[in-house]
Chains A and B, each alone.
Chain A
Amino acid sequence: MSYLELSGLQKRYRDSVAVDDVSLSVEQGEAVALLGPSGCGKTTTLRMLAGLVDPDRGAIRLDGAEITRLPAHKRNMGYVFQSYALFPHLSVARNVGFGLEERGVGKPEIARQVEEALALVRLAGLDQRRPRELSGGQQQRVALARSLVIRPSVLLLDESLSNLDAKLRDTMRHEIRSIQRSLGITTLFVTHDQVEALTMCDRIAVMDRGRIAQIGSAEDIYERPATRFVASFVGRSNVLPATRDAEGRAVLWGETLPVAVPASGEFDLFVRPQRMRILPVSEPVSPGMARVHGRVLRSVFVGDHVEVLIEGVGGQLTVEMQSGSAAPAEGTEVAVAWPLSDTLPFAREAA
């Protein structure tokens, strides 16, 4: 049995289901991201873990003990709120020492641990400031230190980086990740930012409307999305409407592609733009490749790559080319090829 187990968690509100059915196992020392669009139930899941919301159904087990109904103050979870929730009437030092004071730790010991925690988040020397005398990034680190200093059984981070500017966010990600690793703290990290999920966590749980759609490594999620939702939410994809021929193979833009497709109903093929290559029309492709024809509509230089928009008989698609390689001129007839294994068919959802 895993260190932290959520099974069949559900939380309903008067007019909505915030969390429908969430089951998740987290190993000790592991960092798991909860990734999903706004309103999918990420915060509610964390709040149930912290004991701030009572689940309607399901169970939470920590280190073998059932804690589903344990009050928040007995759970020893370090919750870093999105808004930081620093106590405005207390100094930085007393904010960080808050949890230790509640645990009856002696004054000199508190002072020592607070100093250590502040050094860990690189805030040494700011201990006598009030929270509002700190920048957003500093406040965030105080919140982190405050949760770390109690040696939480699980660290819960709720979009804790979303208020920071891009650069600071990047720095903080690395800092949090290295602290998390070096202290071996089991962590649940809520975010709707994929890059954050991909860079900060060992595994990612993608949530969709109160359920976990898929859970796995960053690579699993990105390369082998389990559902149409995951495929469209994580990374970018060309969504190409296709049809089925008499033998049940996919037909795209007039070309037959030997990929397994849903037995019935309408479906689309999902292909990542950076897996596609542009070839001269005459160039043959190896058997494992898919190939369609089209005309270059335009190319857009986006810094580290070039996006080429191509129009064919069945619609448009985007190819991502390394910048440096010469993009074909507008109006050129080209072939687009990609590995068949990177072609993911998903049934179209009833709208």
Chain B
Amino acid sequence: MTGSTRLNLLVLPAVLFLLAVYVWPTLGLFRNAFNEVGPTGAMVEAWSLKTGAEVFADGFTFELTLNSLWLSLTSTLIALVLSYPVSLFLFRTNSRFRGLLAVIAIMPMLISGVVRVFGWLAILGDRGLVNTLAQSLGLISTPMRLVFNWTGVTIGLAESIMPYMILALLAGFGQLDRTLEEASRSLGATPFRTFLRVTLPLSLPALALAAGLGFVLSMSAYITPKLLGGGRVFVLATEIFEQATTNTNWPVAAMLAIYTLGLLLLLLAISNIAARRLQR
């Protein structure tokens, strides 16, 4: 038995596992997307494009797509702007608390999405921390609507993807090197110019990686848009869930899911190419 066949055997359990829990259900999903809904509302086995035609002829699908893309874009950008300085600091610090600080930064990852949403409600709600504070300071008279709308969802989503983006940034900072920044300083560049000409360009691969990840996570997020949106925020993920559970319209849910998957793969490919370009 050659070394490589032995290796192949070693990965066999993992491959079987993935086949069972991922590939098989995905194929099932694919299959469902081409079924039809009978007059009773039950699913009828078929190989038809009727469901697909319905889904894509519906203007709501287009609206959902735009909503998903917009929400993902804004929360990714917000999260990126906030994560970048944090990761840069963590990457560079010589502090003996570095490990601890890193754990704190990615801690939200360990908390259930539902719990986190309730945290945000306590902070952003009508009688939440922000509104109470602003009112007691006399800045506003009526509470600001910060949850159960796009604002709340964007804030909550940005926060929930930040830990992943911080990790992605830290993993992507390979080329970044203190000595390069020192070289820039010694050649006469101010700290700000050094950031623009050295630190930022060398962070681009990491930023692209993190943005890609954040975007994909935002696109597939369900809990945050659902709970913080208060039924007013419609995106692809909430609609798929709605179709599958409330409407029990499996073909439509499956078709939307496949559509979303395709969209994500496309975006991943784009971000991959971009990252490779930047890496050169």
Given known contacts A88-B202, A89-B201, A99 and B179 CB-to-CB distance under 8 angstroms: no
Mask of B181-193 contacts with A, CB within 8 angstroms, 1/0: 0111111111101
The answer to whether B186 touches A78, judged by C-beta atoms less than 8 angstroms apart, is yes
The answer to whether B187 touches A98, judged by C-beta atoms less than 8 angstroms apart, is yes
For the side of the interface on B, what is the size category? 20 to 34
Residues of A within 8 A of B180 (CB): 85, 87-88
Residues of A within 8 A of B188 (CB): 73-74, 76, 99, 102-103, 150
Among residues of B, the one whose C-beta sits closest to the C-beta of A149 is: B187
The answer to whether B182 touches A85, judged by C-beta atoms less than 8 angstroms apart, is yes
Residues of B within 8 A of A85 (CB): 177, 179-180, 182-183
B212 → A minimal CB distance (Å): 20
The answer to whether A73 touches B185, judged by C-beta atoms less than 8 angstroms apart, is yes
The answer to whether B187 touches A102, judged by C-beta atoms less than 8 angstroms apart, is yes
The one of A81, A89, A103, A130 that contacts B183, using a Cβ cutoff of 8 Å:
A81
Asked if A144 is at the interface (CB within 8 A of a chain B CB), the reply is no
Asked if B198 is at the interface (CB within 8 A of a chain A CB), the reply is yes
Asked if A146 is at the interface (CB within 8 A of a chain B CB), the reply is yes
Residues of A within 8 A of B175 (CB): 88-89
Q: How far is the CA of A68 from the CA of B188 in the complex (A)?
A: 17
Among residues of B, the one whose C-beta sits closest to the C-beta of A82 is: B179
Q: How far is the CA of A76 from the CA of B121 in the complex (A)?
A: 55
A226 → B minimal CB distance (Å): 33
The answer to whether B202 touches A102, judged by C-beta atoms less than 8 angstroms apart, is no
Among residues of B, the one whose C-beta sits closest to the C-beta of A98 is: B187
Q: How far is the CA of A310 from the CA of B182 in the complex (A)?
A: 53
The answer to whether A102 touches B183, judged by C-beta atoms less than 8 angstroms apart, is no
A177 → B minimal CB distance (Å): 22
The answer to whether B182 touches A72, judged by C-beta atoms less than 8 angstroms apart, is yes
Given known contacts A89-B201, A89-B202, A99 and B182 CB-to-CB distance under 8 angstroms: no
The answer to whether A73 touches B190, judged by C-beta atoms less than 8 angstroms apart, is yes
Q: How far is the CA of A81 from the CA of B280 in the complex (A)?
A: 24
Residues of B within 8 A of A74 (CB): 188
CB-CB contacts below 8 Å: B39-86 with A: none
The answer to whether B202 touches A75, judged by C-beta atoms less than 8 angstroms apart, is no
Q: How far is the CA of A72 from the CA of B190 in the complex (A)?
A: 8
Mask of A70-104 contacts with B, CB within 8 angstroms, 1/0: 01111111110101011111000000001100110
B198 → A minimal CB distance (Å): 6
The answer to whether B186 touches A102, judged by C-beta atoms less than 8 angstroms apart, is no
Chain A residues touching B, majority SS: loop
Residues of A within 8 A of B187 (CB): 73, 98-99, 102, 146-147, 150
Asked if A164 is at the interface (CB within 8 A of a chain B CB), the reply is no
Q: How far is the CA of A51 from the CA of B187 in the complex (A)?
A: 12
Mask of A142-186 contacts with B, CB within 8 angstroms, 1/0: 000011001000000000000000000000000000000000000
CB-CB contacts below 8 Å: A275-327 with B: none
Inter-chain CB contacts under 8 Å: number: 65
CB-CB contacts below 8 Å: A204-227 with B: none
Q: How far is the CA of A81 from the CA of B187 in the complex (A)?
A: 12
Asked if A50 is at the interface (CB within 8 A of a chain B CB), the reply is yes
Among residues of A, the one whose C-beta sits closest to the C-beta of B189 is: A102
A125 → B minimal CB distance (Å): 21
Residues of B within 8 A of A150 (CB): 187-188
CB-CB contacts below 8 Å: B195-216 with A: 197-198, 201-202
Q: How far is the CA of A89 from the CA of B197 in the complex (A)?
A: 10
Residues of B within 8 A of A134 (CB): none
The answer to whether B186 touches A50, judged by C-beta atoms less than 8 angstroms apart, is yes
The answer to whether A83 touches B185, judged by C-beta atoms less than 8 angstroms apart, is no
Asked if A195 is at the interface (CB within 8 A of a chain B CB), the reply is no
Q: How far is the CA of A83 from the CA of B190 in the complex (A)?
A: 22
Q: How far is the CA of A240 from the CA of B203 in the complex (A)?
A: 59
The answer to whether B186 touches A77, judged by C-beta atoms less than 8 angstroms apart, is yes
Residues of B within 8 A of A102 (CB): 187-189, 193
Asked if A52 is at the interface (CB within 8 A of a chain B CB), the reply is yes
Among residues of B, the one whose C-beta sits closest to the C-beta of A81 is: B179
Interface core residue of A50, A52, A71, A73 (most chain B CB under 10 Å): A73
The one of B177, B189, B202 that contacts A73, using a Cβ cutoff of 8 Å:
B189
Q: How far is the CA of A1 from the CA of B46 in the complex (A)?
A: 96
Given known contacts A88-B202, A89-B201, A89-B202, A83 and B189 CB-to-CB distance under 8 angstroms: no
Q: How far is the CA of A89 from the CA of B201 in the complex (A)?
A: 7
Residues of A within 8 A of B185 (CB): 51-52, 71-73
Q: How far is the CA of A146 from the CA of B184 in the complex (A)?
A: 11
Q: How far is the CA of A130 from the CA of B194 in the complex (A)?
A: 19
B175 → A minimal CB distance (Å): 6
Interface core residue of B177, B188, B189, B191 (most chain A CB under 10 Å): B188
Q: How far is the CA of A85 from the CA of B198 in the complex (A)?
A: 11
B191 → A minimal CB distance (Å): 8
B200 → A minimal CB distance (Å): 10
Among residues of B, the one whose C-beta sits closest to the C-beta of A152 is: B186
CB-CB contacts below 8 Å: B97-116 with A: none
B113 → A minimal CB distance (Å): 38
A140 → B minimal CB distance (Å): 13
Residues of B within 8 A of A83 (CB): 179
Among residues of B, the one whose C-beta sits closest to the C-beta of A75 is: B186
A-B contacts besides A73-B191, A85-B180, A99-B187, 18 pairs, CB < 8 Å: A52-B186, A71-B185, A73-B186, A73-B189, A73-B193, A77-B186, A81-B183, A85-B183, A87-B180, A87-B198, A88-B202, A89-B175, A89-B201, A89-B202, A98-B187, A102-B189, A103-B188, A130-B280
List, sorted by A's number, 14 A–B pairs whose CB atoms are closer than 8 Å. Answer: A50-B186, A51-B186, A72-B182, A72-B185, A73-B189, A76-B188, A78-B186, A79-B182, A79-B183, A85-B179, A98-B184, A99-B188, A102-B189, A150-B187
The 9 closest A-B pairs by CB, nearest first: A99-B187, A85-B183, A72-B185, A102-B188, A79-B186, A85-B179, A102-B189, A89-B201, A73-B185
